[in-house]
């Protein structure tokens, strides 16, 4: 395990309205505001989206198992923002519920708001991290950059 210690920077509150695309708008705000590292929380409703609910088998590289959200779902979750090259990259895991049917997974691609989604984005300052392609998993994963700071583990 490795870690770095940072501090809270700016806090951005966002309101997504019915039909608004969620992930791309989060990327756009992170890019516009130059949020290089951050965390965000979402709560509200989605009416469309695709989620990864796990790998097909516990092997590398993983083959993702997809589920589609085709109607409105209550949504709550947490995500991170770190840059991959010249773009912020979002990683969001959430729960998605409709009546007694609850799913949980990694939201990817286009996802549209149902009525409203509230988001709080929190900038993390002083942490030096990026997303980088991991050869074993073939996924773009978090990498902490050694800047001669104290490391744990």
pLDDT, position 147: 73
pLDDT tens readout for residues 118-149: 999 999 999 999 999 999 999 999 999 987 65
Distance (Å, whole) CA 149 – CA 143: 15
Cα-based torsion angle of the residue sequence 79, 82, 153, 139 in order, rounded to the nearest 10 degrees: 80
151, pLDDT greater than 60: no
Give Cβ neighbours of residue 36 (< 8 Å, ≥ 6 apart): 82, 83, 88
90, pLDDT greater than 90: yes
pLDDT tens readout for residues 23-76: 999 999 999 999 999 999 999 999 999 999 999 999 999 999 999 999 999 999
pTM of the model: 0.92
Tokens matching residue 26: 């989060």
Complete domains list, the chain, with CATH = 7-144 (3.30.1330.80)
Report the DSSP pairing between strands 101-125 and 129-134: unpaired
């Amino acid at each position: 395990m490795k870690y770095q210690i940072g501090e809270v920077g700016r806090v951005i509150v966002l309101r997504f309205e019915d039909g608004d695309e969620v992930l791309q708008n989060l990327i756009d705000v992170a890019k516009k505001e130059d949020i290089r590292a951050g965390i965000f929380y979402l709560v509200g409703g989605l009416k469309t989206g695709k989620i990864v609910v796990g790998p097909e088998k516990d092997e590398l590289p993983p083959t993702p198992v997809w589920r589609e959200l085709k109607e409105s779902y209550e949504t709550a979750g947490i995500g991170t923002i770190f840059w991959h090259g010249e773009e912020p990259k979002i990683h969001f895991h959430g729960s998605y519920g409709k009546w007694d049917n609850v799913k949980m997974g990694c939201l990817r691609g286009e996802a549209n708001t149902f009525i409203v989604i509230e988001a709080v984005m929190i900038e993390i300052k002083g942490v030096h991290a990026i997303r980088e392609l991991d050869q074993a998993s073939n996924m773009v994963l978090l990498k902490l950059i050694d800047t001669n700071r104290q490391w744990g583990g």
